[in-house]
Structure 1
């Protein structure tokens, strides 16, 4: 599956537009990562635990979007956009959404 942020696939022609597809992931950040991030926030530095959680959520959202495109008979997704939101009363949930247009390229 080809996924690209551009409206076309270089060297390929879009022969059919299917529909807009989405992949959504909502994940909670665990207690230990919160403690580590709090210490890094106080002392400075990167929060590796949060970064790993973000990477995993993004990859899963893209994978889910591609799976939904494949079920429609598409072999590519163009115009991909990734959005991130923090949810929950204590901002303890992370939502990652991947969206794009499922297409058939030749």
Structure 2
């Protein structure tokens, strides 16, 4: 499945717009990770634990979005946007949204 932030796929024409698809990932951050992230924030470092959690959330959300596009018979998802939010109680949410499309086959 091709997923792109652009509104077209280089070398392929879009033949049909199937619909808007999305994927979500809501993940909890544990107390130890919060504590270590707090220390990193105080001393000015990066929080590898949170960066890893963001990457994991993004992968899950994009994979779920692509799976939904495939279920609709799409070849690609264009105009992909990612949104990250923090929720109460240390929860992290990632949402991937895009337009599922069918592509003209190369000859």
**Consecutive aligned runs of 4 or more in structure 1 exceeding 3 Å deviation:** none
Q: Structure 2: any 5+ residue segments left out of the alignment?
A: none
Instruction: Give the deviation of 1:58 after TM superposition.
Output: 0.4
The aligned counterpart of 1:93 is: 91
- Summarize deviations over 1:7-63 as a string: whole Å, max 9, x none: 110110001110000001111111111111011111120100000000000011000
Residues matched between the structures, number:
104
The aligned counterpart of 1:50 is: 50
The DSSP-based 3-state class of the residue aligned with 1:74 is: coil
The aligned counterpart of 2:21 is: 21
Map 1:57-96 to 2 at 5 A.
57-88=57-88, 90=89, 92-96=90-94
Q: RMSD in angstroms over aligned alpha carbons?
A: 0.7
Q: TM-score, normalised by structure 2?
A: 0.94
Instruction: Give the whole-Å Cα distance in 2 for the aligned partners of 1:6 and 1:44.
Output: 35
Q: Structure 1: any 5+ residue segments left out of the alignment?
A: none
Q: TM-score, normalised by structure 1?
A: 0.95
The aligned counterpart of 2:8 is: 8
